[in-house]
A = this chain, B = another copy of it.
Amino acid sequence: MFDPASLKYDANGLIPAIAQDHLTGEVLMMAWMNNESIQKTLETSRVTYWSRSRSSFWIKGETSGHIQKLIEMRVDCDRDCLLLLVDQAGPACHTNRRSCFYTALREGDEVIIMEPQNPSI
């Protein structure tokens, strides 16, 4: 049986978690979890981060409706990073873009490569 205590957390008790679309492979966002948010995520299949700015649990999509359903959780070799394969409803980013990684460096300049989705989608 997997125990979240087997993971390596930073000095604040946090571990980075990368959310990836389980079908397309698109990397959607990176946020932080602690032992308890990992347990909540595994129990509910609703991805639950720890908000560092609000110091509280952050059930992804609880207010926006853009929930992340956990399909599979993976652990890296150092046990200090998680990869979450998710089913993402709508945009993952608070800017209404599908992914938080929406700027890219091209020929030395940072350019926007993704537009916000239509709110009705």
Contact = CB atoms under 8 A, between A and B. Distances in A.
Interface of A: 1-2, 16, 18, 20, 24-27, 29-30, 42, 72-78, 81, 83, 93-95, 97, 100-106, 108-110, 113
A109 B6 CA distance: 12
Contacts of A102: 74, 76-77
Contacts of A26: 25
Nearest to A3: B110
B30 A76 contact: yes
A78 B100 contact: yes
A94 B77 contact: yes
A2 B83 contact: no
A20 B78 CA distance: 18
B109 A1 contact: yes
A73 B104 contact: yes
21 contacts: A2-B108, A2-B109, A16-B30, A18-B18, A18-B27, A18-B30, A24-B25, A25-B25, A25-B27, A29-B76, A30-B76, A30-B81, A73-B105, A74-B101, A74-B104, A76-B102, A77-B94, A77-B95, A77-B100, A77-B102, A81-B101
